[in-house]
Structure 1
C-alpha cells in the first residue's frame, strides 16, 4: 500500500510539472516573439533616424565619391614650395622633398579634404551663408565664378574688415557668413589674409588650402595642398561647388517630403 501511494504521488507530481511546463511554453514563446518584434522595431526606428539626421550619418552627402587620391595626384596637389619656405607646422603633412621642393603627403590630404567637403555640405544643408575669399590675382575670376554658380558669395578685393567693422562700413550690423573658404591664405605682399584673423576672432569656421608655407593651426579645416596652380584651384572649386549643391539638393528633397 505504501509503495502504491508513493508511486501515485510521483506520477501526480510528474504530471503537474509536465503540465506546468507545457502550459508555460507558449507564453515563453510569445514573450520571445514580442521581444524580437520590439528589437526589430527599434532597429528600424534607429535606421530611420540615421537616414533622416545627417549628423548621425557617416557620409550623408556622399562626398567621398567626389574625389580620389588619383585625382589629387593627376592635378599636382602634392607639389609644395622650396624647402627653405617651409612652415614648421606643415612638417607633419610633408612626405619628403625632391630637388629642394617639398612633396605633400596626399594620403593625409585626402581624408582632410573629405572632412572639409562634408562640413561645407552640412552648412549648405542648413541654409548657411558661405563666403569664398582670395587675394591671389590668378584665382580671382575662378573664385568669383564658382561662388556665383553655386549661389554663394565671394570677396576678392581689398579687405576693409567688414566682419569687425560693420557699423562704420554699412551703418548697421549685417549677417556674417557661416563658413569661409580660402583658396590662398596669403595676401599681398605675402602676408596672412586679414579675413583669416577676423574669422578666428568671431569663431567663423574656415576651410583653406594650406601650402607648405602656410600655418594650418589657424584654419578650422585645413587641406594640405598646392595652392598656386590655376588648374588645381579650378579642380578644388569644382569640388566645393559639388559639396554645396549636394547639401542644397538634400535640403530641397527634405522640404518637398515635408
Structure 2
C-alpha cells in the first residue's frame, strides 16, 4: 500500500481542527507513543503544549481503571514529598535506596500522567497496532482517538486518522509537532475568550456601580 500525501494533508487538517477545538474547550489530550521511534517526540511535544503523555509502557487500565492508577500516582507524589523533606535520611540506607529506586520506576511509568486528575478528552496515538490496549480502553469509554494511521492500521478504530508511516522518525516528529501546535492554538483561543469574558464582566460591574444620571429634558415654549 502507498500512502497518498494529499490525503495525509487533508486528514491532518481535520485532526488539527478537532484537537484545537478540544483545547479551546479546556479539554486535555493524552499523547501516547511507546515505540522507540516515537518516545522522544511524544514527550517533547506533549510538554511543549502542556499536555500529558505515556512514552514508556502503557499500563493496562490507565483509562478504564483510572481510580487505581490515580492511587499509584498519589503514592508516588507522597514518596517524592517525603524525599524532598529529607525523611529518607532517617531510614536505613538499603530501605532509602529501595524507595528512591521505586520513585524512579514510577516516574518512568507514570511521570507523564502525574498531574492528570481526570480522564483525557482525547488521545493522540502513534502506532495503533502497538498501542491496541490504549485504543481499546478509549473505545470502551467513548474517548475520541487521533492517530497516525499506517498501512497496517484499522481506520475503524480511529476517529481522526492521519495516514503516514509510523516507523519514520521525521514523520512522527512532524505530526506530533502539528498536534501540539493545534493544542497551543486552542489554548490561546481559550485564554483570549476568558480574558474577553473577564473584561466584559468588569465593564458590566462598573456600569452597575455608577449611579445613573437623571435625564435632563429641556422643553421649548412655543
TM-score normalised by the chain length of structure 1: 0.56
Task: State the partner residue of 2:19.
Answer: 120
Match of 1:145 among 40, 44, 62: 44
Indicate conservation of the 8 Å contact 2:129/2:152, yes or no: no
How far apart, in 2, do the equivalents of 1:247 and 1:168 lie?
A: 31
RMSD between aligned residues: 1.8
Indicate conservation of the 8 Å contact 1:135/1:156, yes or no: yes
How far apart, in 2, do the equivalents of 1:118 and 1:170 lie?
A: 30
How far apart, in 2, do the equivalents of 1:198 and 1:107 lie?
A: 31
Task: State the partner residue of 2:65.
Answer: 165
Q: Structure 2: which 5+ runs fail to align?
A: 75-115, 198-222
Count of residues in Structure 1 that have an aligned counterpart in Structure 2? 153
Task: State the partner residue of 1:135.
Answer: 34
Shift of 1:157: 2.3
Q: Which has the higher strand share?
A: 1
Q: Structure 1: which 5+ runs fail to align?
A: 1-101
Match of 1:177 among 120, 124, 144: 120
How far apart, in 1, do the equivalents of 2:37 and 2:163 lie?
A: 20
Task: State the partner residue of 2:138.
Answer: 199
Shift of 1:175: 1.0
2:195 maps to 1:256: yes
How far apart, in 1, do the equivalents of 2:124 and 2:19 lie?
A: 9
Which of 1 and 2 has higher RCO (CA within 8 Å, sep 6+)? 2
Shift of 1:136: 0.9
Spell out, residue by residue over 1:110-163, the C-alpha distance to the aligned partner (whole angstroms, 9 max, x if none): 221111000000000011011000121121011101100100010122222211
2:10 maps to 1:105: no
Indicate conservation of the 8 Å contact 2:20/2:185, yes or no: yes
Indicate conservation of the 8 Å contact 1:135/1:186, yes or no: no
